[in-house]
Amino acid sequence: MTDREYNDCVALYADNVYRFILKNLRREDDAKDVVQSAFEKLWKNRSSVDAVKSKSYLFTIAYHQMIDHLRKEKRIELKSVFREEALVSDRPIHPLKKTLEAALARLNETQRSLVLLKDYEGYSYLEIGQITGLTESQVKVYLHRARIQLKNYLVSLENII
């Protein structure tokens, strides 16, 4: 990957990575830090990275750094008040989308990441497995479970309403 291709990668994928990380971490500052770290690592390893695979490489780095960040966050045990203030769910969005955001927040980290990688970026099971370090069958199973949970959440809300 050349310097120019790296900058192209920034222009093309920085927002995608940022969305993916922000939906998982739900805090903008943490998401920015993770994205910056991911691009910094891509810059250092640009000589060994193929430009065609730069996107999946970037998502792989960002995903693992996000996991590390979440593990570190669990050790710190942040207060719930702080977490409520840091949530980025105060934007005016569609009711269905808001419901989906709520349903997505109920998933565990792995399921949420799989859903986001699938729906946001359109990766295949195989590519998601390469990014997350899971096998293709594991991705398929986890993702199907996440879909069913989301569907059940939506159906149950409709029944209540």
Residue from 3, 77, 84, 90 touching another protein (CB under 8 A): that is 3
For residue 55, how many C-alpha atoms fall within 13 Å in the half-sphere facing its CB? 14
138 binds another protein (CB under 8 A): no
84: nearest Cα among 99, 105, 60: 105
39 binds another protein (CB under 8 A): yes
122 binds another protein (CB under 8 A): yes
59 binds another protein (CB under 8 A): no
44 binds another protein (CB under 8 A): no
Give the binding-site size for another protein (rule: CB under 8 A).
Answer: 43
142 binds another protein (CB under 8 A): no
Residues 93, 95: Cα–Cα separation, whole Å: 6
Per this entry, what is the length of the chain?
Answer: 161
119 touches 107 (CB < 8 A): no
91 binds another protein (CB under 8 A): yes
5: nearest Cα among 62, 48, 51: 51
Binding positions for another protein, rule: CB under 8 A: 2-4, 6-7, 10-11, 14-19, 22, 32, 35-36, 39, 43, 91, 93, 96-97, 100, 103-104, 115-116, 118-120, 122, 124-125, 140, 143-144, 147-148, 150-151, 154-155
